[in-house]
Amino acid sequence: MPLTTSFELEAFINYSRISSYLYLVPGYVIVTSSLRHHFVWQYNQISSSGGLKKQVKDSKPTAIHKSDPMVVVYTKKRDGTLEELGRTEVIMNSLDPAWIKKITVAYHFEIVQPLIFHVYDVDTKYYNLPVKTLKLNDQEFLGEGGCVLSEIVTKQGQSLTLDLHNRNGNKGLKNLGKLTVHAEETVASRNAIEVIFHCSRLENKDLFSKSDPFLRISRIVENGGSVPICKTEVVDNNLNPIWRPLCLTMQQFVSKDNPLVIECFDFNSSGNHVLIGKLQKSVADLEKLHKQKTGASFILPSSAQHGHEKVLKGQLFVDQFCEKQLYSFIDYVSSGFELNFMVAVDFTASNGNPRTPDSLHYIDPSGQFNAYQQAIMEVGEVIQFYDSDRRFPAWGFGGRTIDGTISHCFNLNGSASGVEVRRLKAFPICLLHNYQ
C-alpha cells in the first residue's frame, strides 16, 4: 500500500551572499505557509512562524531600493516539465525577509518527488496585486535551487540547505545565496488511546451453541446519527469474551467528552448480526470505568413498548486504558532510522540467453535497460535517499563466476570480499560485467 502523508515546508533565504534555509514538513508543502509538507521561508534572517518561510539576503542591493523577494515552488514531472505548487507573499524592501505563507505538498514514499524553488525580485508596482496574478517574466529572477522531497524528510530536524544558482544550473563564480527548507508533517493529532474490553454474562443468541460476540464502536454526530469508527475481532462461542487491545485515535473519537455508542453483536456469517446489547459512554467514562474497576450494563431497546429500554445482566468492563502518542513513518526516518536496499539477481538459465530480446537479461546494443536493470534502478532511486552511505549489498545466484565455477551466491560487484555496490548508478555496470 503506498505511503502517503502531507508536509509543510518552511524556507529561508539570505541574499547578500545569501544564506538561506528552507523548512519542509510531511503532509504538504507550504511556502511561507504549509506543504502536506510545508515550507517556511525567511529572507535575510527574519524568522516567521508556520508554513513555508524563506529568508534571503540580497548579494548586491542596489543604491535605489532593496529587493522585494518572492519564492515560487514547483514540482518536476517525469517529462521534465514544472508544475507550480504555490507562491509566497512578497516582502517589501527587505534584505532579510521572512515569508509566512505555507505551501502544502502530498508526500508519496514510493516515488521520487523533485522540488524546484525560484526566487524573484517583484517590481514595486505589482505589490498590491495577488501573487497568483503576477507574470513572472515581468519580475527579476534572483536564483533557483532544487532537491528531492525525501532528502528533506530524512534530515534530522527536517531541514536542508540549498545553493542558489542561475537557471542554466551553472553556479559559476557568483554566489547567489543559499536556501534552507524545513518540513513538518501536517497531522491533526497524534494522540490515541488503547483499551482492552471484556464482557461478562452476555445473553446467548444462538440455539445450539454460545454467541460469537464482537463490539462495534460508533461516534455520535451533530445530527443525532452515529458513524462507526472501529470494531473488535469476533470471539467464538463465548459469553464472557476478552478482546485484543483496541486503538482509538483522536480523529476517531474527536474529544474525551464526545459520546460513543458501543454495541455488542452476535456474529453471523450471513452478515445478519444479532444485537446482544448496547450502551453509550464517552472516552472519559471508559477511563473512569477502568479506574473504578466497575462494569457498565448493556441495554436492549424493547420492541413491545416503544422507547422503553431493557437493562441486561451483561456488562462491559475496561481492563486497560492508556493514552499514547502515534508515530508516523516520517517520525522514524527523521529521527535517524534508515532503509537498507539489498539486491539478489537471478542468473539461472530460466531467464533465457542475454543476447536474445526475449531474455530478462537482454543486453540491448542501444544501452536501454533490461528488466532487471530497470527494476533495480526504479526501486533504488526511491530507497537511496533513506540510506545515508548509499552502499547497497548485492548478490547473484545461479550463474558462472569469472573463474568458471557455478555459484549459487556470489558478490555482484565482482569482489571476493566486499558485497556492497557503491552508488546506484553502478548497478547496470555490475550486471553487464556479470553477463560476460
pLDDT at 43 over 80: no
Grid coordinates of 233? 475481532
Identify whether the C-beta of residue 18 lies closer than 8 Å to the C-beta of residue 162.
no
pLDDT at 245 over 60: yes
Phi-psi label, residue 313: left if phi above 0, alpha if psi -120 to 50, beta otherwise: alpha
**pLDDT tens-digit series, residues 148-185:** 999 988 887 788 888 888 876 555 546 678 887 878 77
CA distance 82 to 12: 22
Task: Pick the most confident of 20-24, 112-116, 303-307.
Answer: 112-116
What pLDDT, on a 0 to 100 scale, did the predictor assign at position 238? 97
The owner of cell 523533485 is: 114
Q: What is the reported pTM?
A: 0.62
Quickly list H helices, 265-370.
283-292, 329-334
Identify whether the C-beta of residue 421 lies closer than 8 Å to the C-beta of residue 430.
yes
Domain ranges of the chain: 4-185, 191-325, 338-435
Identify whether the C-beta of residue 167 lies closer than 8 Å to the C-beta of residue 141.
yes
Identify whether the C-beta of residue 76 lies closer than 8 Å to the C-beta of residue 4.
no
- What is the pLDDT of the chain when averaged over all its residues? 81
Q: Which residues, including other chains, have CB under 8 Å from residue 116's CB and lie 6 or more apart? A: 73, 74, 75, 76, 82, 144, 145, 146
If one compares 414 and 81, the residue with the highest pLDDT of the two is 81
- Residue 259 CA, chain-centre distance (Å), reads 31
Across the range 410-421, mean pLDDT stands at 85
pLDDT at 424 over 70: yes
pLDDT at 305 over 70: no
Phi-psi label, residue 235: left if phi above 0, alpha if psi -120 to 50, beta otherwise: beta
CA distance 421 to 377: 13
Residue 143: how many other CB atoms lie within 10 Å: 27
Grid coordinates of 289? 470505568
pLDDT at 434 over 70: no
CA distance 249 to 395: 43
What pLDDT, on a 0 to 100 scale, did the predictor assign at position 285? 97
Task: Pick the most confident of 112-121, 124-133, 160-169.
Answer: 112-121
pLDDT at 344 over 80: yes
If one compares 277 and 23, the residue with the highest pLDDT of the two is 277
Torsion on CA atoms 375, 378, 380, 381, rounded to nearest 10: 170
Q: Residue 422 — very low, low, confident or very high, per pLDDT cuts 50/70/90?
A: confident
Domain 4-185, classified CATH 2.60.40.150, yes or no: yes
- Residue 263 CA, chain-centre distance (Å), reads 34
CA distance 95 to 373: 48
Q: Residue 436 — very low, low, confident or very high, per pLDDT cuts 50/70/90?
A: low
Identify whether the C-beta of residue 216 lies closer than 8 Å to the C-beta of residue 231.
yes
Comparing 4-185 with 191-325, is the CATH topology the same? yes
Fold type of domain 191-325: Immunoglobulin-like (2.60.40)
What pLDDT, on a 0 to 100 scale, did the predictor assign at position 355? 86
What pLDDT, on a 0 to 100 scale, did the predictor assign at position 320? 98
Q: Residue 135 — very low, low, confident or very high, per pLDDT cuts 50/70/90?
A: very high
Q: Which long-range contacts (CB under 8 A, 24 or more apart) does 294-299 make?
A: 295/200, 298/202, 298/264
Identify whether the C-beta of residue 108 lies closer than 8 Å to the C-beta of residue 98.
no
